[in-house]
Amino acid sequence: CAPPDAVVWPQAVGQVQELAALCYRCRVPMVPFGTGTGLEGGVNAVQGGVCFDLSRMDTIAELSLEDFSVTVEPGVTRKALNSHLRGTGLWFPVGTVRTG
């Protein structure tokens, strides 16, 4: 396991954009981190860099009961989403992520 050189905790999309632009200009690797549920080793900073800990970006932005879709920020956990969905008749089980 290789730790990053630094960790930042952006709280808004604009902050992520500014930090990403800075890393790009300085040719510093970016390592994204959402809620820590992945098993793929994506937060292993093999070339150093800056870890973008997105766990504080935890807003549930939009819920559409009609088409069973929800827009969330990367720090929203499954438990937090299910708490938000309580009372709607919907729930978010493990392994049902759809992107795109």
Predicted confidence band of residue 32 (pLDDT cuts 50, 70, 90): confident
Predicted confidence band of residue 34 (pLDDT cuts 50, 70, 90): confident
For residue 62, what pLDDT is reported?
A: 93
Q: What is the mean pLDDT of residues 25-53?
A: 82
Q: What is the mean pLDDT of residues 58-83?
A: 92
User: Any idea where the domains of the chain sit in the sequence?
Assistant: 6-53, 58-93
3.40.190.10, 1.10.1140.10, 2.60.40.10, 3.30.43.10: CATH of 6-53? 3.30.43.10
Token pair of 25 as six digits:
């200009």
Token pair of 75 as six digits:
């720090």
**What is the separation, in whole angstroms, between the first and last Cα of the chain?**
31
The Cα–Cα gap between 34 and 15 comes to: 15
pLDDT in tens, 6-27: 999 999 999 999 999 999 999 9
The Cα–Cα gap between 3 and 19 comes to: 19
Q: How much is the mean pLDDT over the chain?
A: 87
For residue 3, what pLDDT is reported?
A: 87
Is the pLDDT higher at 41 or at 69? 69
